[in-house]
Amino acid sequence: MVVLSKPAIEQYSFIRNCIPTTTFYTGIPIIDLSKPDSKNLIVKACEEFGFFKVINHGVPLEFITNLESEAIKFFSLPLSEKEKAGPPTPMGYGNKRIGPNGDIGWVEYLLLTTNPDSCSHKFLSVLGENPEMFRSALNDYILAVRKMTCEVLELMADGLKIPTSNVFSKLLKDEKSDSVFRLNHYPPCPDFQALEDSNMVGFGEHTDPQIISVLRSNNASGLQISLRNGNWISVPPDQDSFFFLVGDSLQVMTNGRFQSVRHRVLTNSLKSRVSMIYFGGPPLSEKIAPLPALMKGETSLYKEFTWLEYKTSAYNTKLADNRLGHFERIVAS
């Protein structure tokens, strides 16, 4: 089991009197991709939660276990070795510090592009004698998850009755797609046992700026999402399924019909959590605005912007900030 060097506990954020992570919410929408009604259930889940679980997804179990195995090998390396793959700029290895604006979490991570050929020599050299095993596992996983994600996005477009079913998926399939991939490791926190009414933050609350995020983790708990009423709920872990999260860009493209889901990860004292997240993003030059097919006479709630403009803006904010606030139109009452 991998344990980070022990930092001063006071540096980290806590959530007082939070519902324990072992009290799981049982109403998470489940989308079975083998069922004919999945497109309508996807739309309903996005409208009500901005979040859903996908089963019968078609991603080979072998691809999932191979990449998790390679991730565990990397995170098991001595800290001095892992740090040779950092600091994140923004790609690379990071430890505790999340982004450039002061956010701290009980987490270490690898942030990578979705093009395995672009893995830096600095990163590959840390992997020892056979870096191709990691590169191959990463490539197999990303290709399979991207294919599954595009299938879900096309079902979503059909459910929204958009004439062009690839309106979302084509942005991820584009060779210039600015998608990224993240491996997170949340070690058990030994000091957490003394904090009976608190939960330590592994990754602070935030929304994802991209179109869609696709998360898979081992069977360790910790993920929480915020409901529309502001209450936080704990998501039951399921290592055989994928969790989809609506991103800020999809919120804009649907003119607020879908809302990006605020989420966070809490730690515990007993078990390591390993998660892998595919962030489906458009090309940097892509203009993000409400889709005309969904407007039906509505007024746009957002100013048009390119993905590069939004990404740059988001990178200069703290995790919990409302990143879309700068791009909202002021509608006269």
Separation between Cα atoms, residue 72 and residue 274, nearest integer Å: 8
Residue-wise DSSP of 181-198: EEEEEE---GGGGG-TTE
Query: Terminal CA-to-CA distance of the chain, rounded, Å?
Result: 57
192 φ/ψ sector (left φ>0, alpha ψ -120 to 50, else beta): alpha
Q: Which two tokens stand for residue 155?
A: 């079902």
Q: Residues 146, 216, 262, 273: which is the catalytic one?
A: 273
Residue 273 annotated as catalytic: yes
Residue 244's nearest CA partner among 71, 31, 78 is 31
180 forms beta bridges with 113, 279
- Cβ atoms of residues 318 and 101 within 8 Å: yes
Separation between Cα atoms, residue 127 and residue 121, nearest integer Å: 10
Residues marked active site are found at 273
